[in-house]
A and B are shown apart, each in its own frame.
Chain A
Amino acid sequence: MARQSFALMPDEPIPFDPALAAPLLGKGSHNGWLGLRYRDHGEDWVELELPWRADLLGEEEEEVLASGPIISLMDMASGLSIWTRKKLFQPIATLDLRVDYLRGSKPRASVFGRVQCYHLGHSAAFVRGIAHDGDADDPVAHMQGVFMTIATDPRNFARG
């Protein structure tokens, strides 16, 4: 019996899994409000889906998602790509984020955000990615950003 319970607690922490973590991170927050969904991931990248919704439109008559939710999509995919590359969940804060809008997404189309963490420094993580509406070779936006890790000391965490 004792052996079995040890087997459930491995010495090595379980590596961060964006497929399992994404639904939990969204609960009762901005990401949940947007309805962001996990799509796919690799060693250092994650893709999320922002489903089309009438109350997220930029201009009512055009049925195209506003640019604001696309920033949020890329921000969330950035965080997940950093934790995936690190294989560890650790509080992070966005330092700087740039989005270039190449074109509007198709009417009533979901927008997908695919972000790669291309460099992990000691406390800074560098990310770049694209947003597309079905074909990753024909992006609607490009983004790049830098995130800072927040010290895990709970006093620092509370201070944000």
Chain B
Amino acid sequence: MAEINAASGQLTPYAHSLGIAVDRVEGGVPVLVVDFSNAVEGRPGALHGGAISGLLETAGYAALRGELDRIERKARLKPINITVEFLSAGKPRQTFSKARITKLGRRTANLVVEAWQVNRDRPIASAVMNVMVKDEEP
């Protein structure tokens, strides 16, 4: 529970406002969830691609923040880029997302993120992100 609260406290105002929450923490990595609502609806009855992208990106930052906290490294994060692949239409139900840090370097981090609904082995979208990691002055 403490892990969930810590991760929730780091979500952006945008993420809270879209309805993104921390569902659970798996091995130190937050699994985010968003319920289906008007705020995330695109075509009638389908998730909006932009909302899915927002969820993926938020899951990426959540994983990175968690790891930086774990290794007690204070840094500011700035987006470099994100590439999102949309694999199937998002249905009107809960959507989950979790990231994997593929590289955390001195200046940049690279992450792979997936979003899924009922079946975790069949993601509805995946993303690759590069993030600038700037250490704060001690």
Contacts and interface: CB of A to CB of B under 8 A. Distances in A.
Interface string B19-37: 0000000000000000000
B82 A57 contact: no
Nearest to B16: A55
Interface stretch (A7-15, A23-31, A123-131): A23-31
Given A54-B13, A58-B12, A104-B78, A68 B45 contact: no
Interface string B76-106: 0011111111101101000000000000000
Contacts of B15: 66, 68
Nearest to B79: A101
Nearest to B86: A94
A101 B83 CA distance: 11
A19 B42 CA distance: 19
A50 B16 CA distance: 18
Interface residues of B, number: 36
Nearest to B17: A55
Main secondary structure of the interface of B (DSSP, over half): mixed
A96 B85 contact: yes
Interface stretch (A38-46, A70-78, A114-122): A70-78
16 contacts: A30-B40, A31-B50, A56-B13, A60-B12, A65-B14, A66-B12, A66-B14, A67-B57, A68-B12, A68-B18, A71-B54, A71-B84, A72-B48, A75-B53, A96-B84, A98-B81
Interface of B: 12-18, 38-46, 48-51, 53-54, 57-58, 78-86, 88-89, 91
Closest 4 CB pairs of A and B: A72-B50, A160-B89, A68-B54, A30-B48
Given A29-B42, A71-B54, A72-B53, 14 more contacts: A30-B38, A30-B48, A34-B50, A56-B13, A56-B17, A57-B14, A60-B12, A67-B57, A67-B79, A74-B50, A75-B49, A96-B86, A97-B49, A99-B82
Interface of A: 28-34, 54-60, 65-69, 71-76, 91, 93-101, 104, 158-160
